[in-house]
């Protein structure tokens, strides 16, 4: 652990989560500061140079959402929310208040570390903060991909459900329209929250996606193969 | 034709009133008829009695045989034998009435006979008898009274015709009563039934539509009270349901938090086998918790109903399982649409495929559209389920452990949840053992009108 390793603030009123999580993050090369509530977190945020906040939504007193709003109003420090899966609406509200990502309890700590790295890399790359892709709707060709609902809807309003792999791949494509993405890049981008996405070959997913969204899957017009390169979504994408 | 008892309130009320009215009218008509008959009897007998008394007087006062020369005294005929012959229609009631009246008079009469006769009969008997202005079908009464120790006095009187108007009068009265009363009863019945019907609808919808408005109390007071009581009960139930949701949410949070702590700690367990087992258990607990919470909250899911390509939905779930290395076959199909809640339906299909893989090694899925239904069939290679257990597996927390390995895990809520979801979409689910072995789960959703 060095001075240059990222400094994470873990805010959770439950010691049962806060302490093992802090230990786990330290083992994975992060500097960690713990906080058991919103008031304490505010003072630690001003005292230290925090690189990222892991924040529990449900806390007694001032809750996570309120703290999230406060942090976003004052700084650009990225926030990852800890949510219970039953609190769908709070998760969405949290993302809308400027949280960068979330994990549902009980989360896989490895996944949390992966997400922390993705968010830090995104921030380090100097990319402008944008709404979490999760909240967007993307219109391309005759389709609308509603990321929040994870549904693909055609011009007639018929929902076409996608497998997890297909969804992650399509989300990667619509967020990088008209760019050539290599298989490695696609693999990297689709490393989503579900482990099974890793297991399927990208090519297989692409052909499945083509069957669903191409007018003629045999001569694909939307998802083009770039020889030696990878794939590209050959259409403009409009954010809704 | 088989006559069935009416089932509705209005029908039963009307039937009851009709029957009561029928009895009352029958009694009424009987009394009326009896009274008319009495009057008719008197009308016939009173003048005859007077004339018998008068004839007897004149006979007594007759000084010579001349006055009775032709056997006639006035319009009465006096004879040694009765004018009434056997074969004439006797009138026993008239006889009795005349006897009774004569018994009160100062005459000695030993026998009275009466018979119904026509004008023809009278002419045969008294050739010079003039029926006067009597109508041709006028009937007459012939009376023979025997004087004690003397001759018979024979007399003819008019027999007033039976008053047929009375019957039609009673019938008309009954019909009018029926119409008026039955209309009133039916109206009342309908009104009560309508209030009850609204109440029934509302009762049926309890738990389905939580925020339905109160029913406006309407109809008879009894039913209004019932409606008010129902509204209050619904309020209490809504409160209880809200409390249940709040509690389930709290339980979910309270259990997930320590579970999350455990999950993080599990990562630090050195022994990889131990670690994997811990993580599996934690995930299992989480899945069970999720099933419980979902089942409890199913009735008020916020998910929107939309037109969904069911074939793509099944394909997506099958692909997710394949990505995990499961043996799932599904031939991609053309688009088959239905109106349903996609995430919930996806969950139902996922539970069913999961069962097929767990208990039947693999899942073979087919989809088709028939008669307005979208049919999804999921078959496995497992041992199937005995007929008696096929309903039981849908009950909460039921697992058929005899035939199934405990290690297959699961909360026992998977099928319950699947069926609740499918029924919520207006569909149905059936289980059947295949002849080739294995279980087939048949799910149908109402197809989209296209």
Q: What is the 3-state secondary structure (H, E, C) of chain A?
A: CCCCCCEEEEECCCHHHHHHHHHHHHHCCCEEEEECCHHHHHHHHHHCCCCEEEEECCCCCCCHHHHHHHHHHHCCCCEEEEEECCCHHHHHHHHHCCCCEEEEECCCHHHHHHHHHHHHHHHHCCCCCCCCHHHCEEEECCEEEECCCCEEECCCCCEECCCHHHHHHHHHHHCCCCCCECHHHHHHHCCCCCHHHHCCCHHHHHHHHHHHHCCCCCCCCCEEEECCCEEEECCCEEEC
**What is the pLDDT averaged over residues A139-146?**
90
Tens-digit pLDDT profile for residues A108-122? 898 899 889 888 887
pLDDT exceeds 50 at position A65: yes
Chain A residue whose CA is closest to B321: A196
Q: Highest mean pLDDT: which of A20-34, B19-33, B164-178?
A: A20-34
Tens-digit pLDDT profile for residues A163-206? 888 888 898 899 888 888 888 888 877 765 444 445 457 888 88
Class of domain B304-446: alpha beta
Kindly report the nearest CA distance between residue A90 and chain B, in angstroms.
13
Q: CB pairs below 8 Å between A and B: how many?
A: 110
Average pLDDT, chain A: 83
Hey, are the CB atoms on A157 and B267 less than 8 Å from each other?
no
Q: Highest mean pLDDT: which of A43-57, A141-155, B26-40?
A: A43-57
Which residues of chain A have a Cβ shorter than 8 Å from any chain B Cβ? Answer: 14, 16-17, 20-21, 23-24, 27, 58, 82, 84-87, 105-110, 149, 151, 156-166, 196-197, 199-200, 208, 211-212
Hey, are the CB atoms on B320 and A84 less than 8 Å from each other?
no
From chain A, the residues in CB contact with B325 under 8 A are 199
Whether the complex's predicted ipTM surpasses the cut of 0.90: no
Tens-digit pLDDT profile for residues B227-261? 888 888 888 888 887 888 778 777 877 888 888 88
Mention every residue, 6+ apart, whose C-beta is less than 8 A from residue B380.
B355, B356, B357, B359, B360, B361, B362, B363, B364, B438, B439
Best probe of the B interface among A10, A19, A106, A142, by most B CBs < 10 A, is: A106
From chain A, the residues in CB contact with B322 under 8 A are 200
Cβ-nearest to A160 among B264, B312, B325: B312
Residues of chain B with CATH 3.30.565.10: 304-446
pLDDT exceeds 70 at position B210: no
**What is the pLDDT averaged over residues B115-133?**
69
pLDDT > 90 fraction of chain B, expressed in percent and rounded: 14
**What is the pLDDT averaged over residues B134-139?**
71
Cβ-nearest to B342 among A151, A196, A211: A151
**What is the pLDDT averaged over residues A67-86?**
85
Hey, are the CB atoms on B308 and A158 less than 8 Å from each other?
yes
Best probe of the B interface among A160, A161, A168, by most B CBs < 10 A, is: A161
CATH of B206-300, one of 3.40.50.150, 3.30.1490.190, 1.10.287.130, 1.10.3720.10: 1.10.287.130
Hey, are the CB atoms on B308 and A161 less than 8 Å from each other?
yes
Hey, are the CB atoms on B323 and A200 less than 8 Å from each other?
yes
Kindly report the nearest CA distance between residue B277 and chain A, in angstroms.
14
Q: What is the pLDDT of residue B315?
A: 93
Q: What is the pLDDT of residue A195?
A: 45
pLDDT exceeds 70 at position B218: yes
A98 dihedral zone (left: phi>0; alpha: psi -120 to 50; beta): left
pLDDT exceeds 50 at position B449: yes
Hey, are the CB atoms on A158 and B307 less than 8 Å from each other?
yes
- Band of residue B85 on the pLDDT scale cut at 50, 70, 90: confident
**What is the pLDDT averaged over residues A193-221?**
76
Query: A56: which 2 tokens?
Result: 């529990």
Burial of A216 from C-beta contacts in 10 A (0-12 / 13-18 / 19+) = exposed
How far are the Cα atoms of A6, A222, B82, B413 from residue B423, in angstroms, in the given order? 51, 38, 95, 15
Hey, are the CB atoms on B313 and A161 less than 8 Å from each other?
yes
d(CA B218, CA A156): 45
pLDDT exceeds 90 at position A10: yes
Q: What is the pLDDT of residue B339?
A: 92
Average pLDDT, chain B: 82
Hey, are the CB atoms on A84 and B306 less than 8 Å from each other?
no
Kindly report the nearest CA distance between residue B403 and chain A, in angstroms.
30
**What is the pLDDT averaged over residues B412-436?**
88
Hey, are the CB atoms on B249 and A86 less than 8 Å from each other?
yes
Strand pairing partners for A79? A53
Cβ-nearest to B323 among A105, A158, A199: A199
d(CA A17, CA B263): 9
Residues of chain B with CATH 1.10.287.130: 206-300
The more confident residue out of B180 and B9 is B180
Chain B residue whose CA is closest to A198: B323
């Amino acid at each position: 652990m060095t001075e240059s390793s990222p400094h994470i603030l873990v805010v959770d009123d439950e010691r049962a989560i806060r302490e093992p999580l802090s230990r786990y993050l330290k083992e994975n090369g992060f500097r960690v500061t713990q906080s058991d509530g919103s008031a304490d977190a505010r003072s630690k945020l001003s005292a230290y140079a925090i690189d990222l906040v892991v924040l529990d939504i449900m806390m007694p007193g001032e809750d996570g959402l309120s703290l999230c709003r406060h942090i976003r109003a004052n700084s650009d420090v990225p926030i990852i929310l800890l949510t219970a899966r039953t609190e769908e609406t709070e998760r969405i509200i949290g993302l809308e208040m400027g949280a960068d990502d979330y994990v549902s309890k009980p989360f896989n700590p490895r996944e949390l570390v992966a997400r922390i790295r993705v968010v830090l890399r995104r921030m380090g790359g100097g990319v402008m903060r944008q709404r979490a892709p999760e909240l967007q709707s993307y219109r391309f060709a005759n389709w609308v991909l509603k990321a929040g609902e994870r549904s693909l809807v055609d011009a007639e309003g018929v929902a076409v459900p996608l497998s997890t792999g297909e969804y992650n791949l399509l989300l990667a494509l619509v967020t990088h329209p008209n760019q050539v993405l290599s298989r490695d890049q696609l693999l990297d981008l689709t490393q989503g929250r579900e482990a099974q996405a890793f297991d399927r070959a990208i090519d297989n997913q692409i052909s499945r996606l083509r069957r669903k969204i191409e007018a003629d899957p045999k001569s694909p017009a939307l998802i083009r193969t770039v020889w030696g390169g990878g794939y590209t979504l050959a259409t403009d994408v409009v954010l809704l | 034709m088989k006559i069935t008892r009416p089932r509705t309130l209005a029908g039963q009320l009307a039937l009851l009133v009709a029957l009561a009215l029928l009895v009352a009218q029958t009694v009424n008509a009987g009394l009326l008829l009896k009274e008319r008959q009495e009057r008719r009897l008197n009308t016939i007998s009173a003048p005859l009695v007077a004339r018998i008394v008068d004839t007897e007087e004149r006979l007594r006062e007759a000084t010579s045989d001349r006055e009775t020369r032709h056997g006639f005294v006035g319009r009465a005929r006096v004879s040694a034998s009765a004018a009434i012959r056997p074969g004439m229609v006797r009138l026993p009631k008239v006889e009795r009435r005349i006897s009774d009246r004569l018994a009160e008079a100062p005459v000695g009469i030993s026998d009275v006979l009466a018979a119904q006769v026509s004008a023809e009969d009278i002419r045969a008997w008294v050739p010079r008898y003039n029926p006067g202005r009597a109508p041709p079908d006028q009937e007459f009464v012939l009376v023979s009274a025997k004087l004690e120790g003397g001759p018979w006095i024979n007399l003819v009187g008019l027999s007033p015709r039976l008053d047929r108007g009375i019957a039609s009068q009673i019938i008309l009265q009954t019909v009018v009563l029926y119409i008026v009363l039955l209309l009133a009863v039916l109206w009342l019945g309908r009104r009560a039934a309508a209030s009850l019907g609204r109440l029934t609808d509302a009762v049926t919808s309890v738990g389905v539509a939580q925020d339905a408005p109160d029913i406006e109390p309407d109809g008879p007071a009894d039913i209004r009270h019932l409606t008010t009581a129902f509204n209050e009960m619904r309020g209490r139930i809504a409160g209880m349901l809200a409390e249940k949701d709040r509690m389930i949410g709290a339980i979910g949070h309270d259990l997930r938090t320590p579970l999350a702590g455990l999950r993080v700690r599990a990562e630090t367990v050195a022994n990889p086998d131990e670690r994997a087992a811990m993580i599996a258990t934690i995930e299992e607990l989480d899945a069970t918790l999720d099933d419980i919470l979902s089942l409890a909250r199913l009735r008020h899911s916020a998910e929107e109903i939309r037109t969904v390509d069911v074939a793509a939905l099944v394909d997506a779930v099958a692909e997710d399982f394949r990505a995990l290395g499961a043996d799932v076959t599904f031939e991609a199909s053309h688009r088959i649409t239905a109106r349903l809640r996609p995430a919930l339906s996806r969950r139902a299909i996922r539970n069913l495929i999961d069962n097929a893989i767990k208990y039947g090694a693999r899942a073979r899925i087919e989809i088709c559209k028939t008669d307005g239904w979208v049919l999804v069939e999921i078959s496995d290679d497992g041992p199937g389920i005995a007929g008696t257990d096929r309903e039981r597996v849908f009950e909460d927390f039921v697992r058929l452990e005899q035939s199934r390995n405990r290690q297959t895990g699961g909360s026992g809520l998977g099928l319950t949840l699947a069926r609740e979801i499918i029924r919520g979409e207006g569909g149905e689910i059936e289980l059947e053992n295949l002849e080739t072995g294995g279980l087939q789960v048949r799910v149908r959703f109402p197809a989209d009108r296209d």
